[in-house]
Amino acid sequence: MPKTGNTATSSDQAKIATFRNLYTRVLLGLQAQEHQVLGVTSSIAEEGKTTIASGLATALAEDGALMGFGRDQDTGVLVQCNVSSPPDDPRLAVRSGPGLVQLIRGECDLEAAIQATAVERLAILPVGDPSHGFPMAIRAALLPEVITQLRSKYGLVVLDLPSILNSSDTQVLARLADQLIVVVRAGVTPGKLVRQALDDLGDETILGVVLNDSSSELPAWLENRL
């Protein structure tokens, strides 16, 4: 089990605080509907879905919040379904080896694919070697079974999904999630594309939208008057 990081630094604590509000709302939403698998996606690439997924998973694991929201297990797992961008948090770094692709293809078992992280109460299921045909693998019948296994072992399964409009893989993977979060990066994503992505997913599975990189360009004195 790799331990690439140590205890949470003050910077990490600040990030946890940043994501605390988000995970609280997410857990409240999931708890109300007894959902356990949360997918994080976006309309297009580069909107920060991996950052939000890993930040959310890390923050709630650090806080040990799962038990508080009525889960039997206090451990969460971050499943990397996005081949293009691994998490940047050094505490979530993974060693090379089998991952989701190999697991679906039956080349390894769940225990061999899942890796512990430097974050307490958080495991990660890396994507594995995508050269083995990620698109074909996720369309295999074994994937729902893998998700079922994860449901039984973890209090919360966070799927870091590809973007909706860039890949049809997301439509396949999104069906495995009980609820979805759509990340919208402020000042980058055109409203038209957000609308199109939400239409593609269907409103009933969407838990909510997270506005990433949000900041007010107005000075405080003006902001307070508007």
Partner 1 sequence: MSARRYLSTFFRGRRLYIPVLLLLLAATALGTYYLARTQYEATARIWVDKPALDSVLDPNAPSTFVSPGQQQADKITQLLQTDSFVADVLTNTTMLSRLSNEADRDRVIKDVRSKLSVTPLGTNTVKITYAGSDPVVCQQIVQGTIDQFRAWDLTSRVEQSAIESQFYQKQLQIYQDQADAAAKRVDDFQQAHPYPDPSSPQYLELQGLQRESESARSLLNATLTKIEQANAANSLSDTSRQAEFQVLDAPAVPTRPAATLARLVEYIALGVAASLAFLLCVIAFATWQDTTIRSADDLQRLTNVPLLDAIPHLPAGGGAGGGRPQPAGAVRNTQKSTDQFDEPAAVYPSRMGK
Question: Which residues in this chain contact partner 1 in the complex, by CB under 8 A?
Answer: 9-12, 14-15, 17-19, 21-22, 25-26, 29, 46-52, 55, 88-90, 181-182, 184-192, 194-195, 198, 203, 206-220, 222-224, 226
Query: At closest approach, how far in Å is the CB of 188 from partner 1?
Result: 6
**Nearer to partner 1 (CB atom), residue 95 or residue 192:** 192
Task: Report the alpha-carbon distance of residue 117 to residue 86 in Å, rounded.
Answer: 14
Query: At closest approach, how far in Å is the CB of 196 from partner 1?
Result: 11
Instruction: Supply 26's token pair.
Output: 């997410």
Query: At closest approach, how far in Å is the CB of 117 from partner 1?
Result: 14
Burial (Cβ within 10 Å: 0-12, 13-18, ≥19) of residue 94: buried
> To 10 degrees, what angle do helices 49-63 and 10-32 make?
90
Task: Report the alpha-carbon distance of residue 76 to residue 83 in Å, rounded.
Answer: 20
**Nearer to partner 1 (CB atom), residue 86 or residue 130:** 86
**Nearer to partner 1 (CB atom), residue 85 or residue 149:** 85
Q: Which of 113, 101, 109 is nearest to 77 (CA)?
A: 113
Query: At closest approach, how far in Å is the CB of 184 from partner 1?
Result: 5
Question: What are φ and ψ of residue 162, in 5° steps?
Answer: -70, 175
**Nearer to partner 1 (CB atom), residue 112 or residue 218:** 218
**Nearer to partner 1 (CB atom), residue 84 or residue 168:** 84
Query: At closest approach, how far in Å is the CB of 159 from partner 1?
Result: 16
Q: Which of 190, 202, 183 is nearest to 47 (CA)?
A: 183
